[in-house]
């Protein structure tokens, strides 16, 4: 292959009619020579499935880890974030559609090798690298290589994903990831089919896999869309499923929708909806429930599941209070707070800093 961004992949097989089926995600695209899958970045070339965006990025930026959002994974630290182009779901409400729906290779402005990314993260003082903005499962080969290069330099890797991936590649992907925030878009198969062109069950299976069969730290985000997935019944069912199948210690984030992409006719989520969702989650036994994309000091802070005192006070992405001991316990009652914590909170704050990787070669 002449183009260095095009690499061979291994999750595919040849069908009886000589088309090639991609087996990376539950979409199982069946492609003829020259065709691209729904994700657009995987294609049938030379009678195999290739990834066409290896080493290409839509840009790098340093964010607070809370913005992924991860509230229990080294709070206050900086994370070097990047994405590529394309996505394997087709959510009508996509909040990142300029990247995820991009079919323009020139969107991929910044080329970077795994080693360059890991070295840049270390030099910039980032505790971790995040695969975000679009879903990293579609560029699995690149994401895994970056994660391995990071691990060699002591940098953690974070996946921000919809969890729409088949079992075999899932095992390879999560073996490389130290933390993940998985979008559970709703708790209804109808919603997944109608608004995302996908299915619910594979996502539930990914959540169970991460929680029970990996060492990857897991948090979940649900974007609440007025009238679509915010009924009390659905939130009750979703949070009960999480407690029963994943346990009470997986943090849940309810974040606010803004009208975008193909869903501009629905208003932004009222803060009261997020507060109601958080209350339902806590009533059902979720230890750590958060509101997101709104200013809500109570809903953004972390509380002890035992004595209910405030452990980490947050104002947006700024940490204002820290009541954890050096070994991650409540300073008041000694109960363990689930997650990964340093002796002291990170000091990155709420800054967002674009980075040109070309400066690190
Ligand atoms: S990863 Fe892309 S090409 Fe493969 S099945 Fe999913 S959408 Fe289709």
In this prediction, residue 260 carries a pLDDT of: 74
Cα 207 to ligand 1 centre (Å):
20
Distance CA 63, CA 81 (A): 7
Helix (H) or strand (E) holding 222: strand 217-224
Cα 24 to ligand 1 centre (Å):
6
Task: Work out the angle at residue 297's Cα, subtended by the Cα atoms of residues 345 and 313, and round it to the nearest 5 degrees.
Answer: 25
Cα 36 to ligand 1 centre (Å):
9
- Minimum CA distance residue for ligand 1 atom 2: 39
In this prediction, residue 106 carries a pLDDT of: 44
pTM for this predicted structure: 0.95
Ligand 1 pocket, residue 136 CB under 6 Å = no
Tell me which residues of the chain have a pLDDT lower than 50. 104-106
Cα 32 to ligand 1 centre (Å):
13
- Minimum CA distance residue for ligand 1 atom 6: 25
In this prediction, residue 357 carries a pLDDT of: 84
Cα 51 to ligand 1 centre (Å):
10
Tell me the best of 35, 39, 91 to mutate to test the pocket of ligand 1, counting ligand atoms within 8 Å of each CB and taking the most: 39
Q: Which two tokens stand for residue 324?
A: 């954890």
In this prediction, residue 1 carries a pLDDT of: 59
In this prediction, residue 285 carries a pLDDT of: 98
- Closest ligand 1 atom, residue 38 Cα: 7
In this prediction, residue 57 carries a pLDDT of: 86
Cα 67 to ligand 1 centre (Å):
27
Q: Which two tokens stand for residue 62?
A: 């340093």
Cα 26 to ligand 1 centre (Å):
8
* Helical ranges in the chain per DSSP H: 97-100, 114-123, 140-152, 167-176, 189-196, 201-213, 232-245, 271-283, 297-300
Residue 272 contacts by C-beta under 8 Å, 6 or more apart in sequence? Answer: none
- Minimum CA distance residue for ligand 1 atom 3: 37
Contact 16, 58 (CB under 8 A): no
Ligand 1 pocket, residue 29 CB under 6 Å = yes
Ligand 1 pocket, residue 89 CB under 6 Å = no
Name beta bridge partners: 45: 48
Ligand 1 pocket, residue 24 CB under 6 Å = yes
In this prediction, residue 263 carries a pLDDT of: 67
In this prediction, residue 98 carries a pLDDT of: 64
In this prediction, residue 4 carries a pLDDT of: 74
In this prediction, residue 21 carries a pLDDT of: 98
């Amino acid at each position: 292959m002449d183009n260095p961004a095009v690499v061979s992949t291994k999750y595919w097989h040849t069908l009886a009619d000589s088309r090639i089926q991609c087996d990376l995600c539950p979409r199982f695209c069946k492609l003829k020579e020259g065709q691209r899958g729904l994700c657009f970045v995987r294609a049938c070339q030379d009678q195999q499935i290739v990834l066409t965006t290896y080493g290409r990025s839509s840009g790098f930026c340093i964010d607070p880890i809370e913005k992924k959002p991860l509230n229990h994974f080294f709070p206050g630290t900086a994370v070097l974030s990047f994405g590529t182009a394309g996505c394997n779901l087709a959510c009508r409400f996509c909040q990142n559609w300029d990247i995820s729906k991009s079919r323009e290779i020139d969107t991929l402005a910044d080329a970077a090798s795994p080693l360059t990314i890991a070295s840049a993260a270390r030099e910039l003082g980032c505790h971790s690298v995040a695969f975000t903005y679009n879903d990293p499962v579609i560029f699995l080969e690149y994401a895994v290589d970056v994660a391995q290069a990071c691990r060699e330099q002591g940098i953690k890797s974070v996946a921000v994903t919809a969890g729409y991936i088949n079992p075999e590649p899932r095992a390879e992907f999560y073996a490389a990831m130290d933390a993940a925030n998985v979008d559970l878009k709703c708790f209804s198969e109808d919603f997944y089919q109608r608004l995302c062109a996908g299915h619910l069950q594979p996502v539930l299976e990914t959540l169970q896999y991460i929680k029970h069969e990996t060492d990857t730290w897991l948090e979940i985000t649900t974007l609440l869309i007025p009238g679509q997935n915010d009924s009390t019944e659905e939130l009750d069912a979703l949070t009960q499923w999480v407690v029963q199948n994943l346990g009470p210690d997986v943090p849940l984030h309810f974040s606010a929708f803004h009208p975008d992409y193909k869903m501009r006719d629905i208003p932004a989520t009222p803060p009261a909806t997020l507060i109601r969702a958080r209350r339902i989650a806590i009533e059902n036994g979720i230890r750590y429930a958060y509101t997101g994309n709104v200013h809500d000091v109570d809903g953004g802070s972390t509380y002890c599941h035992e004595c209910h005192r405030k452990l980490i006070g947050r104002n947006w992405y700024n940490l204002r209070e820290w009541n954890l001991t050096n070994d991650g316990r409540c300073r008041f009652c000694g109960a363990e707070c689930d997650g990964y914590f340093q002796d002291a909170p990170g000091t990155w704050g709420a800054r967002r800093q674009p980075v040109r990787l070309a400066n690190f070669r």
